[in-house]
Chain A
Amino acid sequence: SYELTQPPSVSVSPGQTASITCSGDKLGNKYVCWYQQKAGQSPVLVIYQDTKRPSGIPERFSGSNSGNTATLTISGTQVMDEADYYCQAWDSSSVIFGGGTKLTVL
């Protein structure tokens, strides 16, 4: 079965750039989206179609996808960005989530 692999945790200082990776076989051939989940809240879409931001998502969030790796980049990370982040793709007719990455901003 298809798997998406994320690092369990990433740490970044406020104002710096955070990069969260999501790896899968030929992932660049699929569309990837990313969700942000703050403690005690439902997931929120932050990137879709590999690179696009929904309305209301700050410009500091960006995405890329090539080869076997998709990357969520947060430029000028703010304390409010501290959350769990999940990548998601489709394999055949099933939805696949990455295991999630806890982003710590300190």
Chain B
Amino acid sequence: QVQLVQSGAEVKKPGASVKVSCNAFGYTFSGNYIHWVRQAPGQGLEWMGLINPNRGGANFAERFQGRVTMTWDTSISIAFMELNRLKTDDTAVYYCAREVDSGGYGRWFDPWGQGTLVTVSS
């Protein structure tokens, strides 16, 4: 059974950094991209970026470039998302999700992690 298990909730002060982990089970980690998506309270889904564990490399949404780092360790099937210079409006649930690529016929997310609540407050 494919499953993504994320780290627990975090409380941070403005200006600090947070690092969220995403542990993958039930499939070959290097075979699929991992994406990060966040959801502010009462708001919609916002894509942050992706990693390619197979060939290396990452791609970030423009608004997070320079402030987010995405890393991974294939040997233990884990991905990390670190967000720096936190602001109060970074308070959100952060999700990782596995991409399924049909090879030119669409790409979608399945499954998603359980989410990690990050609260930024002074």
- B108 interface neighbour in A33, A93, A94, Cβ under 8 Å: A33
A-B pairs, 3 with minimum CB distance: A31-B106, A95-B47, A33-B108
Q: Which residues of B contact A (CB under 8 A)?
A: 35, 37, 44-47, 50, 59, 61, 95, 97, 100, 102, 105-115
**Could you count the A-B residue pairs with CB atoms below 8 Å apart for me: how many are there?**
59
CB of A79 within 8 Å of the partner chain:
no
CB of A75 within 8 Å of the partner chain:
no
Nearest Cβ distance between residue A33 and chain B, in whole angstroms? 4
A86 x B44 contact (CB < 8 A): yes
A42-B95, A86-B44, A100-B44 given as contacts; is B110 within 8 A of A54 (CB)? yes
Nearest Cβ distance between residue B77 and chain A, in whole angstroms? 19
Q: Which residues of A contact B (CB under 8 A)?
A: 31, 33, 35, 42-45, 48-50, 54, 86, 88, 90, 93-100
A90 x B109 contact (CB < 8 A): no
A43 x B45 contact (CB < 8 A): yes
A43 x B112 contact (CB < 8 A): yes
In the assembled complex, the Cα of A69 lies from the Cα of B109 at a distance in Å of 21
Contacts of B107 in A (CB 8 A): 31, 90
Nearest Cβ distance between residue B51 and chain A, in whole angstroms? 13
Closest-by-CB residue of A relative to B105 is A49
A94-B47, A97-B44, A97-B47 given as contacts; is B106 within 8 A of A42 (CB)? no
In the assembled complex, the Cα of A88 lies from the Cα of B106 at a distance in Å of 11
Contacts of A33 in B (CB 8 A): 106, 108-109
Closest-by-CB residue of B relative to A95 is B47
